[in-house]
Structure 1
């Protein structure tokens, strides 16, 4: 080496004289990883159940993931939190989800330390740790680890991926997105997708391209510098979007239904050894109908839903395979520690019958089966936001009970693969040791020979809660080091301790048995009753799928486990227990500016995420656009929010002014001006005045009177019989265009405004124009 280096932060080791000829230079040492340090790739699948991958007994073809298992390790006792944001926070920090402020998804944050969605900076992320070790760090795909209110161009950006140690980010910030029209961000900047569905665009392929590009770009400059890639495709979360040819590969493969699927997968799991030879298949879930009892149309819809899901998963495996093949081609695969995990069990968010539009689920407005069947050939296409029936979620978690959002093992025991040819001698073996996703960070650090740093960016670090399982890589008989683990999700609780599992289901073992739906709040009185009589006990060391409740026979052990759960609840910030869902979704949360009732937007700016857009649902509001209409007229969107799944658009077409409200993708209710908007500068205004109360429980938002004004004069009005009750999803708001899928079939996106749009103001103060004479005139004109 022709020059001298010294440790940054220590004293300069050169010599400083009066001039350079009597001085000796020295340089601060760049951060370099130790020679031969392995790369790290963590693949986080979404809503993929224990019985979904081929290497876990599924008939769904996942050859590239299966190849990782054949040349690496499968774990059959890996646990998650049962929900995405909480699990993802554990995966990157090694701390329990309540200690990360992630009791639930970030959209459901509430004002308690374990629930506020703010991952403390003392809970450093693997990206921050490895960045200090000389690694390049990349996040590609889903983030969903910061308050939704911070997802806009106003920031703050310290909890975006680049603020938490990732060098580069390409993906989406929220919980889900259209695979055809995604809400994309590059680094800290919102961007449009590089192509359209008609041009062959799909998000998963784009994510794989970006991951390969990041790795290639760095390796061609610094081939010895290792990287950490956190690869998080949107799959297999809804919407289950995939090209028809992928879904059609599975034509007829699921015609026998979910009961048969479970039997076949369970038998295969025993053959593979991923479940014990004496395991029993869990009971038929009371919330899932027997396949034979379904009407023919319901079966046909369910079959196609599963074909689309299977195609989506195989398509994802294909693009993960492209990434793996690239690592092999550049000679990096053998020295890359790859971990593949799902963030929770398969999802029942499609409801009992499935849906062509998941937004209906979130708005308590499921569509009739006949409406879904009428669109069966559209499933997976850009016109849908589809999800399969919860019978398939139950089947996807074979052999376990229940599903995502619940702490039975169907929600919390998930597939987990490890592949590292240079670091692990074992090939194609199965590991049965108990593990939890908080163990992933300490395992990676152990494998790399890296100690957790005492500080990151000057912030003292909290202890890591997980323990390494690296000792199991080459020793299948090694004892687990993770003995006790609590679970809590929407009031559904469990605790594992040395082969025993206590579960307190909420609202009950099933919705049918509880007589309550998901998301029911828990009062203090109800909690006392639950603790006194609703805990179940399973000896999972002998009862893999929680079939035999032995609470009555081991009362002392159960009481001890309940006490242990409360000890961990106090230690990790679990209290107060909250079973609610809709109430949390609708909770008012701190915004960057307080007490606003008026919002002004300009064209050409970034779209607003739903969390920071004005809350217009179920309240009086008006939208005013300041425009210049050129000679010959203008057309295009003034303001839009949502997508073809539901939303609204205020726009000009054929010279006339329009407002369309898309009710959960099921109906579009409109008001339009009878005449063209004249040339010149005008104020174009839409007003909504509620005429009745909403019935949110039945999926009915506030009906109201929709009115259009030009320069303060009423020109049209119409009654909207129903509006969206809870949320738009996707719910981005855009000024001057409708990016993504069109809110209304009246135009094609992005339908940019062709006149001059100076600004658009949304006012939610309730200050509406009262013009009785104009209202009478418009009413008479409509007769």
Structure 2
């Protein structure tokens, strides 16, 4: 509470000035608005009474429709519109008829950028100092979107807009993402009347775990039938727009379209990949030079901008063996195809708005990335892995090169391609001390309202500026109170001042950046940054020495791309900016830096050793179910087999890249464990199951001291080997070794079926159980 009071008092003068400048808007604004007095007449006689209905919220006259497109993990230069290889005609068309901002900034990570965009406040103020699934028990990091930071969608909804959201959300506390809720922090409780998408930081694009509003739903087709999530999102948004037009043709809408592209996994149809064959054979060093030249020619960067050098952690392309270059070039082809495919689906959405005759008064904000391109991958990227979870041999990976991008692989390109996609800047995603992580293109299109078209704007701007821009364009005053809660004032500054005046000075003279202990601070054209380096996995850029690197200083007024560190020549200016960061950090709940993840975090599964499920229970996230990866446990299921048939899954948790499944196949009980896409355990009952009512079970006993290995707080448990046994009516009917049980990404625990991708290749999903399934219990021992 202390922080919130500090914020209110610290900004009261600025807020008062802003309200005064708004003229008649100076009165306190409260949402929801109090009911108006009855405007009719009431008399004992019906004939003498005059009815009057309560007024529905109406948007200001002429308020534009609003579409916000937010791509994922796309570097500044990846799109052809900004010098890259990937064709982006939808983005190009908007840029040709709108404004392109080349000094627009994001937080450098997905959940934080989304929280800042959708509230107009800094990301720590909303509790998203990091991604939702890495939350900590501090105000700036708890991932609990508080009611004093009302969303843009909610304000628009209560001012007469229809609202809908599609794609990636990633702003709900992880422990609240279950089919049973609570739903307080889901999109439909934060201002969106309709939601269709996924909750995590990433999802399988071929076999996604989707929600419609708060209900889990399965994809309408399979990958073999041509399904892809991004196309599905465009279909859903189009359907919603058509329904909205049929019922409320004059009512303005707000559409949030945030597809998974191009966050890993890099899943994209093969015919799109074929379009980019050979376009990256020159390698990342030459690609950056070519991209940089195109950027200069297009005018999307200043003529005096310089190309920053390759980071010392990354090798020169020509130093790599030919077979490595072959694999890497294919990875880049897939990424470019993914971006082009995503832009194509966005183009379909925008075409629907044109077909309805509404594009003239629709303002589109197309933000090309919620952070810079991904640089935290292995040098050779990620695709096929061995049973130990480590990368398969190069020879094995090359055997599968033509299948990359399909549902078989959870693939991602190598880190140097991410660096190249951030041309001309240094580093990338998650490193906000540099522009490679924080500067992404913004294109604004509004045919009715923009005088200048096809031009670049270079004012310093930030993702928090989007919400106040929309409020100004819609003629909506930001509320002081919502549902009785005093609101934290907006941090953003409307961009409308720059629409018709290319020379206008930016009102934003100060902005802090922080993710994972890496810090950045912008003030009056100067930028200081200090990178925090940690030993983390197989990340090429995270090399010793570890810890906080020395602060660097850049004069962005003369150095667009941060090519020259001038800290040594300007110690006083550097000291000033470091002190300014500290002040902003205290004001915005940035401290403590890098808090420990997950300590004491709520979890419905915490402390439970018995989990009881019944038929029809599906889509329980693995993280809120029983963790069987390192503990002795027993699974028991009451079933009834009919005279004929009776195959199918009894319980499955996980999918193609990790999990377990207990199922009946060809009349026999089967248990299978899958680790990193490889069968790690497979036990089949020694005889067929009898018909009628029976109880089947599986037990797991870890080897010796394996189960007593210490659990490191905030890290997933290490899977352990052991022995598995099958039982029918208490009698053992099978035994075998289980190398380990691990959970793959994206998936869920399902009873009576295996939804999503299959744990076992012995069946095709959902492989629903055709007998009668009663109670299923998982007991941790």
TM-score, reference length from structure 1: 0.91
Question: Residue by residue, what CA displacement relative to the aligned partner does 1:686-724 show, whole Å, maximum 9, x if unpaired?
Answer: 222222547999996322222222233332222223443
Matching residue within 500, 516, 520 for 1:490: 516
Aligned mates of 1:158, 1:77 — CA distance in 2 = 35
Question: Residue by residue, what CA displacement relative to the aligned partner does 1:546-574 show, whole Å, maximum 9, x if unpaired?
Answer: 22222221111111111111111111111
Q: What is the deviation of 1:277?
A: 1.3
Q: Pick closer, same or farther for the CA change 1:557–1:364 going to 2, 3 Å.
A: farther
Alignment of 1:62-141 (within 5 A): 62-141=88-167
CA contact (8 A) 1:649 1:661 kept: yes
Partner of 1:757: 773
Partner of 1:405: 430
Partner of 2:19: none
Q: What is the deviation of 1:348?
A: 2.7
Partner of 2:275: 249
Matching residue within 552, 562, 574 for 1:536: 552
Aligned mates of 1:476, 1:70 — CA distance in 2 = 16
Which sits farther off after the overlay, 270-279 or 679-688?
679-688
Alignment of 1:74-473 (within 5 A): 74-341=100-367, 342-356=369-383, 365-407=390-432, 408-473=434-499
Which sits farther off after the overlay, 422-431 or 655-664?
655-664
Partner of 1:703: 721
Q: Secondary structure at the match of 1:98?
A: helix
Q: What is the deviation of 1:350?
A: 3.6
Q: Pick closer, same or farther for the CA change 1:513–1:135 going to 2, 3 Å.
A: closer
Q: Pick closer, same or farther for the CA change 1:567–1:114 going to 2, 3 Å.
A: same
Aligned mates of 2:633, 2:49 — CA distance in 1 = 72
Question: Residue by residue, what CA displacement relative to the aligned partner does 1:759-781 show, whole Å, maximum 9, x if unpaired?
Answer: 211222x1xxxxxxxxxxxxxxx
Q: Pick closer, same or farther for the CA change 1:455–1:374 going to 2, 3 Å.
A: same
Partner of 1:59: 85
Q: What is the deviation of 1:592?
A: 4.1
Q: Pick closer, same or farther for the CA change 1:427–1:319 going to 2, 3 Å.
A: same
Aligned mates of 1:685, 1:541 — CA distance in 2 = 69
Q: Secondary structure at the match of 1:371?
A: helix
Q: Pick closer, same or farther for the CA change 1:57–1:118 going to 2, 3 Å.
A: same
Aligned mates of 1:536, 1:712 — CA distance in 2 = 68
Partner of 1:778: none
Q: What stretches of structure 2 of length at least 5 have no aligned partner?
A: 1-32
**Residues 1:597 and 2:609 are matched in the alignment:** yes
Q: Pick closer, same or farther for the CA change 1:43–1:482 going to 2, 3 Å.
A: same
Q: What stretches of structure 1 of length at least 5 have no aligned partner?
A: 1-6, 521-525, 767-783
CA contact (8 A) 2:137 2:600 kept: no
Matching residue within 653, 658, 663 for 2:665: 653
Question: Residue by residue, what CA displacement relative to the aligned partner does 1:81-138 show, whole Å, maximum 9, x if unpaired?
Answer: 1111111011100111111111111111111111111011110111101111111001
Partner of 1:515: 543
Q: Pick closer, same or farther for the CA change 1:218–1:485 going to 2, 3 Å.
A: same
CA contact (8 A) 2:284 2:420 kept: yes
Partner of 2:29: none
Question: Residue by residue, what CA displacement relative to the aligned partner does 1:495-537 show, whole Å, maximum 9, x if unpaired?
Answer: 11111111110117997786349xx8xxxxx6xxx4xx72111
The count of corresponding residues between Structure 1 and Structure 2 is: 739
Aligned mates of 2:58, 2:373 — CA distance in 1 = 41
Alignment of 1:551-566 (within 5 A): 551-566=567-582
Partner of 1:12: 38
Q: Pick closer, same or farther for the CA change 1:754–1:44 going to 2, 3 Å.
A: same
Partner of 1:570: 586
Q: Pick closer, same or farther for the CA change 1:699–1:303 going to 2, 3 Å.
A: farther
Partner of 1:712: 730
Aligned mates of 1:364, 1:103 — CA distance in 2 = 29
